Copies of this chain bind each other. A is one copy, B any other.
């Protein structure tokens, strides 16, 4: 697409507009979008106008705009996320009904854990994650699974840091993280007590697809101090069901 005088393509400008929306900032004026996307006010108004005309953004009752249902539809109907979460929903429901705590599915995306599905109960404990939200690989049970079973280049990139601490218990030491990844591979699950939230323990298992590669992490967020073994047993049942649905044959 044609470039602006500053040299960025209109695709760059579009993604900066889309990135200015977050899970807590769902409606903005064109001027606010321009400021956050680093666009001149006139460009921001023109781009927002074009995106509203095509339905990728929607205009609110006042002068604010939101992500349009048309964009959600186009992004969802042919995405990998949809296939994976449709296969996962049944197994996840059974895990959630038995464990009665947040049950989640994450994939590796741009060196982070991206959560593509989450089932919760009104009585579930606190939880930092949400659908389409992310967590660092070294700092969550799902991330540790994706990292431990990921390729060597990914592991070296993450181990090289920086390793940010979400709580006082997040593993931020390179040698300790290396030992943790070996433990995850040996045990076939990752336990992350207090890594994300001092009151919660993440517990995740790897899910393999038809190629035998780890395609996702299935996890539950337990309250600190809850017994781990019953939840792990349920996760293992759910993982096998999901692997069967994804076409995985045989055991790692």
Residues of A within 8 A of B (CB): 1-2, 4, 9-15, 18-19, 21-23, 25-26, 46-47, 50-51, 53-56, 66-67, 69-82, 86, 89-90, 93, 107, 109-110, 114, 116, 119, 121-122, 130-134
The answer to whether A131 touches B82 (Cβ under 8 A) is: yes
The answer to whether A69 touches B79 (Cβ under 8 A) is: yes
Known: A55-B110, A56-B15. A119 touches B73 (CB 8 A): no
Give which listed residue, B1, B18, B66, B134, contacts A1 with CB less than 8 A: B1
Copies of this polypeptide in the complex:
2
Chain B hits for A69, CB < 8 A: 79-81, 107, 109, 114
The answer to whether B131 touches A76 (Cβ under 8 A) is: yes
Q: For the complex, what is the distance from the CA of A200 to the CA of B135, rounded to whole Å?
A: 43
Chain B hits for A11, CB < 8 A: 10, 14, 47, 50-51, 53-54, 56
Chain B hits for A79, CB < 8 A: 26, 66-67, 69, 71-72
Most chain B beta-carbon neighbours within 10 Å: one of A18, A81, A86: A18
19 A-B residue pairings within 8 Å (CB atoms): A1-B2, A1-B14, A12-B50, A19-B74, A21-B78, A23-B77, A23-B78, A67-B78, A69-B81, A72-B75, A72-B82, A72-B116, A72-B132, A76-B132, A77-B130, A77-B133, A82-B131, A90-B121, A90-B122
Give which listed residue, B2, B75, B121, contacts A75 with CB less than 8 A: B75
Q: For the complex, what is the distance from the CA of A9 to the CA of B56, rounded to whole Å?
A: 14
Known: A50-B1, A70-B109. A132 touches B10 (CB 8 A): no
The answer to whether A10 touches B2 (Cβ under 8 A) is: yes
Chain B hits for A132, CB < 8 A: 72-73, 76-77, 82
Q: For the complex, what is the distance from the CA of A93 to the CA of B77, rounded to whole Å?
A: 21
Nearest CB in chain B: distance from A86 CB, A: 7
The answer to whether B21 touches A54 (Cβ under 8 A) is: no
The answer to whether A109 touches B73 (Cβ under 8 A) is: yes
Chain B hits for A82, CB < 8 A: 72, 131-132
The answer to whether A131 touches B15 (Cβ under 8 A) is: no
Give which listed residue, B75, B78, B86, contacts A22 with CB less than 8 A: B78
Nearest CB in chain B: distance from A29 CB, A: 15
Look across to chain B and name the residue whose beta carbon is closest to the beta carbon of A69: B109
Look across to chain B and name the residue whose beta carbon is closest to the beta carbon of A50: B11
